[in-house]
Amino acid sequence: GYPNVGKSSLINSLKRSRACGGGAMPGITRCLQAVQLDRHIRLLDCPGVVLDSGDPPAAAPLRGALAPQRLRDPLAPACAILRRCPPQQVRGD
């Protein structure tokens, strides 16, 4: 799945304990982990995967592939977000 969509959090909720590490930053889950939910169900937690779609590099942070703190230029992703929003929503009309 994509990074930061809640894969580890969902497993933790189903398990009702902290079976997988998780957080708001991408890259916390670093390897594949099997979690036994009950006798018949085993869940796999894995790192997020973002396939190269040919989009410009500014699109990677929008898919959660990069932590905001690691961006060299946060202006390009911010402009990409603003281009996707209706102008009246940005202005607060």
Task: Label residue 33 by pLDDT band (50, 70, 90).
Answer: very high
Say yes or no: 37 and 64 in one domain: no
DSSP string spanning 13-63?
HHHTS--S---SSTT---S-EEEE-SSS-EEEE--------S--GGGGGGG
Give a yes or no: residue 25 inside a domain.
yes
> What is the tens place of the pLDDT at every residue in 48-67?
877 666 666 666 677 766 77
Give a yes or no: residue 76 inside a domain.
yes
Say yes or no: 12 and 41 in one domain: yes
Domain that residue 33 falls in: 7-45
Contact in structure between 50 and 2 (CB atoms under 8 Å)? yes
Give a yes or no: residue 80 inside a domain.
yes
> What is the tens place of the pLDDT at every residue in 15-26?
999 988 887 777
Tally of domains within the chain: 2
Question: What are the residues facing 2 on neighbouring strands?
Answer: none
Say yes or no: 39 and 62 in one domain: no
Q: pTM score > 0.75 for this model?
A: no
Give a yes or no: residue 52 inside a domain.
no
